[in-house]
Structure 1
Amino acid sequence: MNQAAVRLRSVTRSYGRKSGAVTALDGVSLDIPRGTFTAVMGPSGSGKSTLLQCTAGLDRPTGGQVFLGDTELTGLSERRLTLLRRSRIGFVFQAFNLLPSLTAEQNVALPLRLAGRRPKRGEVLDVLERVGLRERAGHRPGELSGGQQQRVALARALVTRPDVLFGDEPTGALDSTTGREVLSMLRTMADGGQTVIMVTHDPVAASCADRVLFLADGRVQGELHSPAAEQIAARMTRMAAVPC
């Protein structure tokens, strides 16, 4: 059994053709160990979002290989890729993406229904309890604060017990106090064995991770392990500096 939750081997992703082609990822190879919290940072246009989308099976690389555990995503049909995403991958986005007409409980149960499973109420309530919202199970998104909505989104991502939880700026729409609460939950999940990969622009958010990867021009330009926010901010400042 491979100990990496995710492996990328010489992954490239280009958009457009010939002289107009833009390379978003340029030969990226990396391993994400199981049960770790990884943050991905970089300047605008560095390839962060493309890396997350290719790694999570939302986009197909132009070249190279992506593995979820021992399963190669790049060789799967669209149908098999969809089924895999529903059962083995969890997503948390900046915009929450909750259905406004459904209660918190119904939103959390939705991935199970999409996967063809009949949700057990106890199972759904248990995962809501993990994020501190069991008592809000009957409330719709409009009756919840932004932080509570993001915690519902987190519960929805966890209900299928995914191999990897992906976050795309999961605290970007939250105030600093609520953002810290969500980050603390992600940290606790990683400490409990969940693999978390998060794209962020915030050095404070990234400092909650075990490892921070820095991207520029579609390539990994370095990493830091268990860094302080000040170290991350200094690295980002150097990456953004333009020589005179």
Structure 2
Amino acid sequence: MNDIGTNSAPTYGIATNSVPTDCTAVRLRSVTRSYGKGAAAVTALDRVTLDIPKGTFTAVMGPSGSGKSTLLQCTAGLDRPTSGTVTLGDRELTALSENKLTLLRRERIGFVFQAFNLLPSLTAEQNVALPLRLAGRRPKRGAVLDVLERVGLRERAGHRPSELSGGQQQRVALARALVTRPDVLFGDEPTGALDSRTGREVLTLLRDMVDGGQTVIMVTHDPMAASHADRVLFLADGRVRDALDSPTADRVAERMTALAVAPC
């Protein structure tokens, strides 16, 4: 199985430099992330090069320890690569100071995690407005209610997390991620804590957002979740080993099985 997205293989998306910069949401070039030093060093990402076009839904899969979470963290500016560059739109994240990187994450990047991370003492409306307040902006109630409407929860604006189901809490978390109108929405197992029916509802909502122009990058272990994406990237040993366009759950599961038995 050939590597995709390394120095010796084609770039994910199309060949290197063939995707115009203004059409690319995220661009990684030779990104390596290592932990530790000397003989104890561990390479979590190994010279990953890829382009993710705007307005697309990308799922990232791989066995435990494959580097998928590290890829998400480096791409979202939560972690810094040991070497290489990460560019979000027109901004190279690896060149920013910590303060500027924090501001960029607040304004241009959205996050949804497996844990909903809602503040229990705040209503849904107040939880959604929180990123704007943290950024020093005065939330407009109409805008907050509009994003709750977008996830189907406007009528639950005054409810606290304990008064909402798990799926509703994840929808609030999704609205909170979208309220700043981010360039890219990152999801780390966003349906991992949900039952299958509720998970499908959240994935359908993400799919609808992508169809409306949002860019989504999601780490998942679930072939059914990955089947909602436009493309699935398969990681192993810190490298993108394979990619699948127009995925179905069965095809994703087959690729994962092949990845597990393929030689490195």
Q: Normalised by the size of structure 2, how large is the TM-score? A: 0.91
Q: SS state of the match for residue 190, structure 2?
A: coil
Aligned to 1:94: 114
**What's the offset of the Cα at 1:239?**
1.2
Q: SS state of the match for residue 84, structure 2?
A: strand
**What's the offset of the Cα at 1:100?**
0.7
Deviations for 1:72-102, whole angstroms, at most 9, x for unmatched residues?
Answer: 0001000000000000000000001111111
Q: SS state of the match for residue 59, structure 1?
A: coil
Deviations for 1:128-165, whole angstroms, at most 9, x for unmatched residues?
Answer: 00001001101111110000000000000000000000
Matched, 1:150 2:150: no
Of 202, 206, 209, the match for 1:189: 209
Q: Distance in 1 between matches of 2:231 and 2:210?
A: 12
Deviations for 1:5-31, whole angstroms, at most 9, x for unmatched residues?
Answer: 000000000001111000000000000
Q: SS state of the match for residue 2, structure 1?
A: helix
Matched, 1:66 2:86: yes
Q: SS state of the match for residue 162, structure 1?
A: coil
Q: Distance in 2 between matches of 1:3 and 1:64?
A: 21
Q: Distance in 2 between matches of 1:55 and 1:18?
A: 25
Q: Distance in 1 between matches of 2:159 and 2:110?
A: 22
Aligned to 1:115: 135
Aligned runs of 1:1-244 on 2, under 5 Å? 2-241=22-261
Q: Normalised by the size of structure 1, how large is the TM-score? A: 0.98
**What's the offset of the Cα at 1:238?**
1.2
Q: SS state of the match for residue 22, structure 2?
A: coil
Unaligned runs of 5+ in 2: 1-20
Q: Distance in 2 between matches of 1:109 and 1:28?
A: 36
**What's the offset of the Cα at 1:241?**
2.3
**What's the offset of the Cα at 1:2?**
2.2
**What's the offset of the Cα at 1:227?**
1.3
Q: Distance in 2 between matches of 1:36 and 1:242?
A: 28
Aligned to 2:17: none
Deviations for 1:152-200, whole angstroms, at most 9, x for unmatched residues?
Answer: 0000000000000000000000000000000001000000000000000
Give the letter for the 1:85 counterpart. R
CA RMSD of aligned residues (A): 0.9
Q: SS state of the match for residue 191, structure 2?
A: coil
Q: How many residues in Structure 1 have an aligned counterpart in Structure 2?
A: 243
Q: SS state of the match for residue 46, structure 1?
A: coil
Q: Distance in 1 between matches of 2:254 and 2:49?
A: 25
